[in-house]
Amino acid sequence: MNSLNKTFLPSEKYENRKWFIIDCKGQKLGRLATQVVHLLKGKGKPHYYPSVDIGDYVILINADLIILKENIEKYTVYNPGRPGSSLKRITESLPSVAIERAIKGMLSNSETRKYFKRLNIYNTQDHPHQAQNTIEFSI
């Protein structure tokens, strides 16, 4: 039997998950969100397989210092088809909420439930994950 023709499928217990720390200072929201989703899903690993969850943990620090376009007004529709005030303006005053919404928008509902447990967002430099041997990730 030739071992070169066998397909390798990783299992969730194949390797330990890594902890990546990303500094949001001066980062743009969209670029940051795509890299975070890439790490949460584990797409950068050579043994990535879509049906197996092999993603890593992500810690975002300095979320208050992220670059947001504040001059763009966002709207959402409540009670569509109803006359009156169904169009509401969304104000995202908290950058951490904007980061969560951007990442949730890039994931499906089942992926959001699965991967959001491994995302930690902090507004300052301090975080309680020093014991996890975090790896600096630069964008």
- Assigned fold of 16-136: Ribosomal Protein L13p; Chain: A; (3.90.1180)
- Find the distance separating the first CA and the last CA of the chain, reported in whole Å: 44
How far apart (Å, rounded) are the C-alpha atoms in residues 20 and 31? Answer: 16
Q: Which two tokens stand for residue 73?
A: 């007004």
Read off φ and ψ for residue 78, nearest 5 degrees: -105, 140
How far apart (Å, rounded) are the C-alpha atoms in residues 37 and 43? Answer: 9
pLDDT, position 46? 86
pLDDT, position 1? 57
pLDDT, position 6? 78
Contact at 8 Å (CB) between 55 and 118?
yes
Contact at 8 Å (CB) between 56 and 15?
no
How far apart (Å, rounded) are the C-alpha atoms in residues 78 and 86? Answer: 5
Other C-beta atoms within 10 Å of 81: how many? 6
Q: From its phi and psi, is residue 35 left (phi > 0), alpha (psi between -120 and 50) or beta? A: alpha
Ranges of residues in the chain with a pLDDT under 50 are none
pTM of the model: 0.79
pLDDT, position 68? 81
103-126 pLDDT, tens digit per residue, is: 999 999 999 999 999 999 999 999
